[in-house]
Amino acid sequence: MKTTFRTLALLLLLSIKTAAGQTLPGERIFLCTDRTACTATDSVRIDGILMATDTLGGPYSRYVYVELINSQDSLCLQQKLRCEPSGRFHSAFQPLTVWPQGTYRLRAYTRLMRNYPPETFPLLTLRIGNDDSRQPAVSRGVRCYLYPEGGHMVGGLRQSIAIRLTDGSDRPLRGSFSVTDSRQRELASGTTTASGWQLAAFTPEPGEAYYIKVETENGKETFPVPAPNTVPVVQSALKGNILSYYVHPQLPPKYALYLYHRQLGLQRINLKRNGGKIDVTGLGDGLASLILTDEMGEIVSESFQRVGFRQGQQTAVGVADGNPAGVLCTFRRAISDTTASLPQAVPALILQTDVASPAPFPKNYGRPGEDSEADLRAWLCSATFCRINLKAAQEGKLTLPYAPETQLALSGRVTYRDGGRPVRNGSVMAYQKSNNAVFTSQTDEMGNFRIPVDDYNDGEEFYLQAYDKKGKAYYCRYEMTEDAPPPLARQQSDLASEAYGGDEAQLNRPGLHGVNRLPEVRVTAKRRMYDQEEKLFYKSTLLTHADIQSHNLIDFKHVVEYFFKYMYLTGSEQVGYVLNNRRASTLQANQSIKILLDGTPISVNQVLYMDMNDMESIEYLSAVEAAKRADVGGAINGALVMKTRSFKPGTEKTESKGVMYRPLGLTGGRKKDIIPTMKSAKMNLQEWVFTDTVYKDGRVSSTQTKR
């Protein structure tokens, strides 16, 4: 309640009005592995957590997709993982020997996250191959990347500019720099952090040229600073719980300023002056984005501040000292490969869910003795807002076509093979191969269906059989609905010498036909579907005439009680008897097991007092066997086929009218996954321990310590 009042006070203070008219639900993922490089003999462990973006409650989704993509943007591995109630998920995989050496990318997302740009998905690199070929040689050159605060320089305004220094291979460099004008006057100076980042502030004048002079161990270089212009720019600063913003110069007509935070959604600020202050007390740990747009709705300037973390801050060091109060989970990884950039929870859960940058996040963020605040502020100058489509939000057209996935389901469209007409108002039954479970759903006017099913392992197969509204089975065509992999958002690599391209390697794994290019090839290309062959799909239970005589089963009640123990009778002579299956299907109506006597359906009351010695055989058929062999539609709990000794079966063979379908299942299935122990493949004295802590109130911390 206290937080609600604070949020209302914030909106009244600012005269902010909702631009999109709603706060859209979303999710965020922190994904990490136990190693940054491996060979084909190594097992790579995956660990992560799924969280909501707009609430402190649990995630909306129950399942997470994890994909491994090679340097040709081809999908090599796809896993579907079930999350624990807290959002944690775990898995592991071993590279195939046919995979070529090189740099691979691992990403994770949920179905709900597909409503947002792929730039908001976590993406980390994994090198597969020999140690000698992983890293390029260190270049002696110097590169300087400049990112003005707000996106561009404006004349007459004191403004910061982010400086990033790297060598020729894009590795961070620590070096000194100075900002000078055309008359060699020094306006600002400083030293970059171990991550290569720093900020410099000065006031550019129109018509003047400015330069960055850099001195590192690789030599001295001079780089020009982008010339200032007159396009308005937005600046911001955070002091305590007060977020200040300033726009310069005066805004032209139809320009607009927006504020975005994951708890507020997109809000528009009614500017009465060039600046203002926002009380952010009560907002959770997240990024406050100030976005300036022109008359066409295009973004012209942005400014970002991390808010909500400093309030009652508790670092991971305190957790290590035995004070775990308020901690949701902790990730610890010991890594000896100091040249690689590891994923950290702060950028993954707080920053990169809202913004994207062409530059990698500072790799030494959270390391003792380093200026992590300077790294963060400088990196945010390189970022741009990507969370939502701003134009769609302005027009009130933001939609969520992808719903959260909370239960596995088989969905698609069924049509008759002859003519392609949809199976209207019929039904589709799915028979699970591994455990004989039966699931069903009705079809609509267009033949669409959606069948909720229990969790199943990857590699599971389902037998699909469609029936018309009268319960008759037909040969049908099934078009299964499966989401194509989202496009790949390529992020800046730490290694500038990495080359992407070349011929596509043909890799294989069970369930995959070669490699799926992203985003051109749909996942449906790798789902196996085929007509069921003429053979027993399930084992049946058969009672012969000799069995009946040897057990002295004189009536039907004795047959059920002593042989078919997974059945039971209910009812009475007055109201009639029903034959039930203890493993009944999910369909609530018509659950009685059907009985056929010499091919003719009969009731339980009719068979109850028959002499069982007259029977040649009594056979229980599962639901799919009943549909195939006995041509009995709608026997979702199976059928009992009774044949008398005088019965002469016909010679006509009943063929299957259904298809087998293999969807993407869960890795690990119903068994609880083993939580991976984050240990490095190499252990030495220079090993760094990465600790990422997620708190129950939504705060996140990332630290690095030397072992």
* CATH number of the domain encompassing residue 647: 2.170.130.10
Edge-to-edge strand list for the sheet holding 242-248: 233-239, 242-248, 275-279
| Integer Cα distance of 160 and 20 in angstroms | 31
For residue 460, what are the contacts with CB-CB under 8 A and spacing of at least 6?
432, 433, 434, 662, 663, 665
Q: Is the pLDDT of residue 623 over 80?
A: no
Question: What is the pLDDT confidence band of residue 299, given thresholds at 50, 70 and 90?
Answer: very high
Is position 15 within any domain?
Answer: no
- Can you tell me which residue has the tokens 């958002």? 489
Question: What is the pLDDT confidence band of residue 514, given thresholds at 50, 70 and 90?
Answer: very low
Task: Calculate mean pLDDT across residues 192-211.
Answer: 95
Please indicate, yes or no, whether residues 546 and 627 belong to a single structural domain of this protein.
yes
Is position 227 within any domain?
Answer: no
Q: Considering its fold, how many domains does the chain have in total?
A: 2
Please indicate, yes or no, whether residues 452 and 557 belong to a single structural domain of this protein.
no
Is position 242 within any domain?
Answer: no
* Tens digit of each residue's pLDDT (9 = 90 or more) over 531-545: 543 333 333 478 888
Question: What is the pLDDT confidence band of residue 650, given thresholds at 50, 70 and 90?
Answer: low
- Can you tell me which residue has the tokens 């006070």? 9
Nearest to 384 by CA among 308, 263, 300, 267: 300
Question: What is the pLDDT confidence band of residue 602, given thresholds at 50, 70 and 90?
Answer: confident
* Tens digit of each residue's pLDDT (9 = 90 or more) over 65-116: 999 999 888 899 999 999 999 999 999 999 988 888 999 999 999 999 999 9
Is position 572 within any domain?
Answer: yes
- Can you tell me which residue has the tokens 């590192």? 216
Q: Is the pLDDT of residue 312 over 60?
A: no
Please indicate, yes or no, whether residues 563 and 648 belong to a single structural domain of this protein.
yes
| Integer Cα distance of 235 and 589 in angstroms | 64
| Integer Cα distance of 292 and 167 in angstroms | 34
Q: Which helix (H) or strand (E) holds 379?
A: helix 372-381
Q: Is the pLDDT of residue 462 over 80?
A: yes
Burial status of residue 675 (CB atoms within 10 A of its CB: 0-12, 13-18, 19 or more): exposed
Give the CATH number, domain containing residue 442: 2.60.40
Q: Is the pLDDT of residue 527 over 90?
A: no
* Tokens matching residue 152: 């561009």
Beta bridge partners, 39, equal: none
- Longest CA–CA span in the chain (Å) reads 114
Higher pLDDT, 159 or 551: 159
| Cβ–Cβ < 8 Å for 404, 112 | yes
**Sign of torsion over alpha carbons 432, 433, 437, 440:** positive
Cα distances (Å, whole numbers) of residue 473 to 106, 417, 476, 535, 626:
44, 12, 9, 18, 11
Q: Is the pLDDT of residue 16 over 60?
A: no
Higher pLDDT, 21 or 517: 21
| Integer Cα distance of 72 and 591 in angstroms | 52
Residue finishing a domain among 482, 515, 532: 482
- E-strand spans in 481-573? 516-517, 528-531, 541-544, 567-572
Is position 637 within any domain?
Answer: yes
Other Cβ atoms within 10 Å of 252 Cβ, number:
10
Provide the residue type at 614 as one letter: D
Please provide the average confidence, as pLDDT, over all residues in the chain: 80
Is position 474 within any domain?
Answer: yes
Range name among 276-290, 439-453, 693-707 with the lowest pLDDT average? 693-707
Q: What is the pLDDT of residue 109?
A: 97
Q: Which long-range CB contacts under 8 A does 347-350 form with residues at least 24 apart?
A: 347/702, 348/28, 348/29, 348/30, 348/31, 348/122, 349/28, 349/29, 349/30, 349/51, 349/694, 349/700, 350/285, 350/286, 350/287, 350/306, 350/309, 350/700
Is position 425 within any domain?
Answer: yes
Please indicate, yes or no, whether residues 645 and 558 belong to a single structural domain of this protein.
yes
Residue 442 belongs to domain spanning: 409-482
Please indicate, yes or no, whether residues 633 and 545 belong to a single structural domain of this protein.
yes
* Tens digit of each residue's pLDDT (9 = 90 or more) over 553-562: 888 888 888 7
At 554 the three-state DSSP class reads: coil
Q: What is the pLDDT of residue 647?
A: 78
| Integer Cα distance of 125 and 106 in angstroms | 6
At 372 the three-state DSSP class reads: helix
Please indicate, yes or no, whether residues 546 and 648 belong to a single structural domain of this protein.
yes
* Tens digit of each residue's pLDDT (9 = 90 or more) over 353-407: 999 999 999 989 998 888 999 999 999 999 999 999 888 888 888 888 999 999 9
| Integer Cα distance of 93 and 79 in angstroms | 9
Q: What is the pLDDT of residue 96?
A: 87
The structure's pTM equals: 0.76
Q: Is the pLDDT of residue 281 over 70?
A: yes
Task: Calculate mean pLDDT across residues 497-515.
Answer: 27
Q: Is the pLDDT of residue 587 over 80?
A: no
| Cβ–Cβ < 8 Å for 492, 360 | yes
At 550 the three-state DSSP class reads: helix
Q: What is the pLDDT of residue 351?
A: 94
Please indicate, yes or no, whether residues 473 and 548 belong to a single structural domain of this protein.
no
Residue finishing a domain among 482, 504, 524: 482
DSSP 697: T
Please indicate, yes or no, whether residues 549 and 635 belong to a single structural domain of this protein.
yes
| Integer Cα distance of 528 and 24 in angstroms | 36
Please indicate, yes or no, whether residues 560 and 458 belong to a single structural domain of this protein.
no
Please indicate, yes or no, whether residues 477 and 549 belong to a single structural domain of this protein.
no
| Integer Cα distance of 130 and 111 in angstroms | 35
Is position 458 within any domain?
Answer: yes
* Tens digit of each residue's pLDDT (9 = 90 or more) over 490-505: 554 333 222 222 222 2
Question: What is the pLDDT confidence band of residue 129, given thresholds at 50, 70 and 90?
Answer: confident
Question: What is the pLDDT confidence band of residue 4, given thresholds at 50, 70 and 90?
Answer: very low
Dihedral (C-alpha) 377, 379, 384, 385: value to the nearest 10 degrees? -60
Q: What is the pLDDT of residue 531?
A: 53
Burial status of residue 321 (CB atoms within 10 A of its CB: 0-12, 13-18, 19 or more): exposed
Q: What is the pLDDT of residue 675?
A: 39
At 548 the three-state DSSP class reads: helix
Provide the residue type at 128 as one letter: I
- Can you tell me which residue has the tokens 């561009």? 152
Backbone angles phi, psi at 441, to 5 degrees: -160, 155
Q: What is the pLDDT of residue 66?
A: 97
* Tokens matching residue 453: 């099913």
